Each structure stands twice: as C-alpha cells, then as structure tokens.
Amino acid sequence: PVEIVLLLAAGGVAFTSHAGKAGTRVATASVGGHFLGLGIILSLIEDVLAFLIAPLALVMPLLILGVVALGLAAAFFALRAARRRRRRLAA
C-alpha cells in the first residue's frame, strides 16, 4: 500500500514536469519562437538545470524541493502576468 501511494505521487510529479515542458514548447512555438531559435535556448536551459539539480537532489533533497517550489511559483506568476497582458491587449 505505501509503495503504491509513493508510486502514484512520483508519477504525478513526473507528469507535472513533462506537462509543463510540453506547455512551454507549445507556447514558444505559438509566438513564433521556433523561428527565433527560442526552442533551442529553452532546451539548453532545461539540460543545464537537469545536470545541476540531479546530483544535488541525491545529496540535499529538501534544498531541491525548495528550489522546485520556487520555480513553480515563478512559473505560476509569469503565466498569470502573461494572461493579464493578453486580456489587456485583447480589450
């Protein structure tokens, strides 16, 4: 029972990560980012962050949890600001 709960939680975290990356790619492509090379830049940033965070997650999991929480909060506020800007421009 505990293993199943942990498996479901880990699957949820993995899904959230992949859904966020996919959403970022779609948003970048929709604003013409593939012509500007933004997809390559985003991919490089993802690779560098994964390279830096993965070893730290093994040594200091609580620190990485905080870093991930800060990143999610920043993404939330950036998305909120983008939506407000889009609504303002549409009006």
**Structural contact between residues 67 and 53, judged by C-beta atoms closer than 8 angstroms:** yes
pLDDT at 71 over 80: yes
Q: How do the domains of the chain map onto residue ranges?
A: 1-36, 37-90
- The rounded Cα 5 to chain-centroid distance in angstroms is 23
pLDDT tens, residue by residue, 37-68: 777 787 788 888 888 878 877 888 888 788 88
pLDDT at 1 over 70: yes
CB-based burial of residue 81 (10 Å sphere; 0-12 exposed, 13-18 middle, 19+ buried)?
exposed
